[in-house]
Copies of this chain bind each other. A is one copy, B any other.
Amino acid sequence: MSEYIFGVDLGGTTVKMGLFDREGNVLEKWEIVTRKDEGGKFILPDIAASIKAKMNEKGISAPDVAGTGIGVPGPVGGDGTVFKAPNLGWGVFSVKEELGKLLDGIRVEAGNDANVAALGEMWKGGGKGFNSLVMVTLGTGVGGGVIIDGRILTGSTGAGGEIGHMHIVDGEPDTCGCGNSGCLEQYASATGVVRLAKRRLEKDDAPSSLRAASNISAKTVFDAVKAGDKVAEEIAEQFGEYLGKGLAAVACVVNPEAFVIGGGVSKAGPVLFDYIEKNYKKFVFHGCSDAKFTLAELGNDAGIYGAARLVLS
């Protein structure tokens, strides 16, 4: 039986790569630069060359490789077609086929990076032991990945799990990156928490340690929450209400066993759950109220784990 799997997490700056065994143990990790010149045409050949070099180095022959999985920063269809990935300069084509050819027929599976990270967390991270979960990545934006019965829910146009663009607030004056306004991402991302904090601080003169901060971030807000700052607690409450409400809406669609919370904002730790879970339970349909909340554990490695796991799906 083929004993190795390559997991590739293709980002806008670097490509993270991992060599795994079938049990999901990472045997080696490395990175290469993402060459975006000329419409990103070098990216897949660079990845293939790096995989082949690793195979040579380790004395691994093609039949020893069960496959290569790759996470791509853009919508990817169930058949491995990337619809577009503007960050890479890519248009519409089959990553699965192209990379497969470059790897001389080694099996390739492709998915959207957020969805693939969700699969990684299910396999070896905060979602271990769950078979259906929603990963929520609170980073620069809010990403989502829906896993049902151990498989990614891709969606008909690769937009499954785009929960950051769920409409949550009416009358929001700022425009979201997607062009709409009032999206979950505008309140629950790292920049969203800052938006909520600034608005709260401008509202009145209530004393808060945040007023002395030279640069407010999601971290300073949650650090202040932990220190008992009342204004910071109000901001966290507002964040929790919007996110809890959004996840309650997600639950009444896919009814997952668990929500796995990752991304920069999640570094605040379990204090987040005080605000998210309370509000989730307030808004959710009773049949979904037992969903578990866990923190992501794999950090930047979720992508390579999930990409490797794609091969076993």
Residues of A in contact with B (beta carbons under 8 Å apart): 75, 78, 131-132, 144, 146, 148-149, 153-163, 165-167, 178-180, 245, 248-257, 283, 285-288, 290-291
Contact = CB atoms under 8 A, between A and B. Distances in A.
A254 B132 contact: no
Contacts of A285: 159, 162, 165-166, 178, 180
A257 B77 CA distance: 13
A77 to B, nearest CB: 11
Given A148-B153, A180-B285, A253 B255 contact: no
A165 B252 contact: yes
| Identical copies in the complex | 2
B249 A162 contact: no
A78 B148 CA distance: 12
A10 to B, nearest CB: 19
A163 B257 contact: no
Given A148-B148, A248-B167, A249-B166, A287 B75 contact: yes
A255 B158 contact: yes
Contacts of A161: 252-253, 255
A162 B288 contact: yes
A288 B166 contact: no
Contacts of A180: 283, 285
A179 B251 CA distance: 17
B160 A253 contact: yes
A131 B161 CA distance: 18
A157 B156 CA distance: 25
Contacts of A154: 255
Contacts of A148: 148, 153
A159 B288 contact: yes
A132 B175 CA distance: 31
Nearest to A148: B153
A157 B245 CA distance: 20
A288 B256 CA distance: 21
Nearest to A255: B155
A309 to B, nearest CB: 19
13 contacts: A153-B254, A155-B255, A157-B287, A157-B290, A159-B255, A160-B253, A160-B254, A162-B287, A163-B252, A167-B245, A178-B286, A179-B286, A253-B253
